[in-house]
Chains A and B, each alone.
Chain A
């Protein structure tokens, strides 16, 4: 019974395509994040969502757009994929106001050819 799950685990696609990565959590947390981890393992926050409101956008290109259909999901849509988008993307969650601890999903490895 995974707390934070992501699909797909691997995604290989061509430059210029549009793709989505899904994230689901069953922890009941109200804040969800997307991180990008590059080849050097550096974790960079991309977005956070709290109660369906975007509260952080760390200068990410507008080709990336998070969408939250409900409190348990935060999906990442990427348009016009570029080679530099190749990375591992992690979803994470936190219970706002209760703890600072973030719980990470297993990651999605995106490869753009």
Chain B
């Protein structure tokens, strides 16, 4: 089955800096890669996703890149703000199959 690895497990940046979180997956048939943000005491919320027919996707300050050959994808957050502090999860799935999540990255943005 699919195995998703996520790095780093913790990340601390200064406000205004960029943050990058990386994930690798094992199943080359995976074609959907979402990123979730989990704030303290809440459930994970989808922030951005990408499909295997696209190499990059942007939404304001966040972007995701996908390298199908290397089987890795990354989340990029620019101009970080304190409210970006949370745990971020990557995930991978094959169309209509269930997702496998990475272990999570705790991002801390220092004001």
Contact = CB atoms under 8 A, between A and B. Distances in A.
Interface residues on A, range: 20 to 34
A97 B95 CA distance: 8
Contacts of B42: 106-107
Interface string A27-55: 00000010000001111010010000000
Contact of A40 (B49, B96, B100, B103): B103
Given A41-B87, A41-B106, A101-B34, A90 B95 contact: no
Nearest to B106: A41
A66 to B, nearest CB: 14
Contacts of A97: 96
Given A100-B34, A100-B95, A102-B99, A43 B104 contact: yes
22 contacts: A4-B43, A33-B98, A41-B103, A41-B104, A42-B101, A43-B89, A45-B99, A45-B100, A48-B98, A56-B98, A92-B43, A96-B96, A97-B96, A100-B34, A100-B49, A100-B96, A102-B46, A103-B46, A104-B45, A105-B43, A106-B43, A107-B42
Given A4-B43, A45-B99, A101-B46, 15 more contacts: A43-B101, A43-B104, A90-B44, A97-B96, A100-B34, A100-B49, A100-B96, A100-B99, A104-B36, A104-B44, A104-B45, A106-B41, A106-B42, A107-B41, A107-B43
